[in-house]
Amino acid sequence: MEQTRLTRLLGAAAFSLGLLAGFGGSVHGALADMLDVEKDELKFGFIKLTDMAPLAVAYEKGYFEDEGLFVTLEPQANWKVLLDRVITGELDGAHMLAGQPLAATIGFGTKAHIVTPFSMDLNGNGITVSNEIFELMKPNLEMQADGKPVHPIKADALKPVVDKFKAEGKPFNMGMVFPVSTHNYELRYWLAAGGIKPGFYSQTDVSGQIQADALLSVTPPPQMPATLEAGTIYGYCVGEPWNQQAVFKGIGVPVITDFEIWKNNPEKVFGLTKEFTDANPNTTLAITKALIRAAKWLDENDNANRMEAVEILSRPEYVGADKEVIANSMTGTFEYEKGDKREVPDFNVFYRYNATYPFYSDAVWYLTQMRRWGQIGEAKPDSWYDEVAKSVYRPDIYLQAAKLLVEEGMVDEADFPWESDGYRAPTPAADIIDGIPYDGKQPNAYIDSLPIGLKGNQVVEGTEVVGG
């Protein structure tokens, strides 16, 4: 995945000469508009998931090089290592869980000011249960005429199973990828919508299992299927290709996608330290430009490039899973059980619906879930949510990069929400599994509307929720 800098510089020089010859001695196009980057050799981290695709595409299609950037992409062992290496400067930036920059900035876990000028995708996750658990859920499912379950499957169908385990004194263990991951919050959201308590965090107990009916713990994404097969966990929430891998291996059944939990929900972001963006403003713009172009390529012409993207991602230096497994979700379908493949055209969205714009309201939703489950230990005013969102999410940088790309003819002006105040329109009740609408401008009212979770001034002390 790495080329020598000399090779790349020679290539750039040859390209320059070609342009000079082709345009009568005047340099046009990308090189004419190339930013004067402060740092041109960069190392970015990622986890082996299909939603790292914009990084792989920006590298393979030469979009980083078009911006004068010589990038190395390096897979990381887990999300904690990835974040720590960005903070220490060993990595210049990384594919991150959207909750990571927010949690680091407010000091939950490692304290550091991380920012994001680029949201990497929408949707892309699923919740899978073991074959054994799915068999136990079946009597609680509504079936279609063909004998296949009606989707979406709500956690109501799992609740009798969890209750049975609890009555027998058996822990119901489930996996998610990281305490501040979308997967943790989506799994908790789905469980709570079905009346299953996923547990609280406290300032002294960060297990997240206080008062829990289902016990959630961290499992790295590539290890999810093997951990399920071993019986250590009964289900998990993860990004692709690790739900489809369970289907291919015949060890589990994905019961719901996050698109069905919250239509077009935000997923990963590209994170950098504020220190890096302050010291390297042009480099940050150049990175953002390359990633916007990659996202556009991934979605353009009704996903016409997705099979090429699947081939890139299947390589061992990126995701390293079988092409067939990656293609199952990346090409607009999703297989719930073997033979039950359904059309889910928006399972992975990289550019449509302003997917790449870092909306403040997306940040606020993550913060509401941190508060709901006790990771944010005390009540905060609505203004606090807005301030934190604006300190981490940087649509100003994003729009500056987009403006440059419009001027260069690389993207269409109509593709970007130039007049946005940074907040999406409220998500209607019909687009969320529990029928509760979400308005990012009213975080406390939203938190209080959720039946299970902390509300108002409630705090977790020991094993109890106190206050009101």
pLDDT at 336 over 50: yes
Give mean pLDDT, residues 47-72: 97
| Cβ contacts of 332 within 8 Å, gap of 6 or more | 303, 306, 343, 344, 345, 346, 347
Can you spell out the DSSP letters for 159-209? Answer: HHHHHHHHHTT--EEEEES-TTSHHHHHHHHHHHHTT----B--SS-TTS-
Give mean pLDDT, residues 321-330: 94
Query: Is residue 65 within 8 Å of 58, Cβ to Cβ?
Result: no
pLDDT at 456 over 60: yes
Query: Is residue 83 within 8 Å of 104, Cβ to Cβ?
Result: yes
Find the angle CA(59)-CA(63)-CA(67) to the nearest 5 degrees.
Answer: 120
pLDDT at res. 34: 87
pLDDT at 26 over 90: no
Report DSSP state, residue 266.
B
The helix/strand/coil state of 395 is: helix
pLDDT at 1 over 60: no
pLDDT at res. 3: 44
pLDDT at 285 over 50: yes
Are both 33-122+267-358+394-415 and 125-264 of the same fold? yes
Tokens of 123: 């949707």
Query: Is residue 72 within 8 Å of 80, Cβ to Cβ?
Result: no
pLDDT at res. 33: 63
Q: What percent of the chain lies above the pLDDT cut of 90?
A: 91
**pTM above threshold 0.85:** yes
Q: Give the residue carrying structure tokens 């020598």.
A: 4
pLDDT at 4 over 70: no
pLDDT at res. 16: 40
pLDDT at res. 252: 98
d(CA 55, CA 85): 17
What radius of gyration, in Å, describes the C-alpha atoms of the chain? 22
pLDDT digits (tens, 9 = 90+) for 287-317: 999 999 999 999 999 999 999 999 999 999 9
pLDDT at res. 222: 87
Any idea which fold 125-264 has? D-Maltodextrin-Binding Protein; domain 2 (3.40.190)
pLDDT at 15 over 80: no
Give mean pLDDT, residues 411-437: 98
Please tell me the CATH superfamily of domain 33-122+267-358+394-415, with its number.
Periplasmic binding protein-like II (3.40.190.10)
Q: Where are the alpha helices (DSSP H) in 250-330?
A: 258-261, 274-279, 281-303, 306-313, 323-330
Give mean pLDDT, residues 329-350: 94
If DSSP states are collapsed to H, E and C, what string results for 198-265? CCECCCCCCCCCECCCEEEEECCHHHHHHHHHCCCCCEEEEECCHHHHHHHHCCEEEEEEHHHHECCC
Q: Give the residue carrying structure tokens 């406290």.
A: 202
Closest CA to 200 of 467, 459, 436: 459
Question: 96 versus 7: which is more confidently predicted?
Answer: 96
pLDDT at res. 27: 33
Give all strands (DSSP E) within 28-121, no chain letters. 41-46, 70-75, 93-96, 114-119
pLDDT at 29 over 90: no
Secondary structure of the chain: what % helix, strand, coil (to 5)?
45, 20, 40
State the CB neighbour count (10 A cutoff) for residue 457: 10
Query: Is residue 14 within 8 Å of 86, Cβ to Cβ?
Result: no
Q: With bands split at pLDDT 50, 70 and 90, how would you rate the model's confidence at 2? A: very low
Sketch the domain layout of the chain as residue ranges.
33-122+267-358+394-415, 125-264
d(CA 403, CA 282): 14
Give mean pLDDT, residues 393-416: 98
pLDDT at 342 over 70: yes
pLDDT digits (tens, 9 = 90+) for 154-169: 999 999 999 999 999 9
Q: What percent of the chain lies above the pLDDT cut of 70?
A: 93
The helix/strand/coil state of 100 is: helix
**pLDDT mean across residues, the chain:** 93
pLDDT at 61 over 50: yes
Q: With bands split at pLDDT 50, 70 and 90, how would you rate the model's confidence at 28? A: very low
pLDDT at res. 202: 96
pLDDT at res. 468: 77
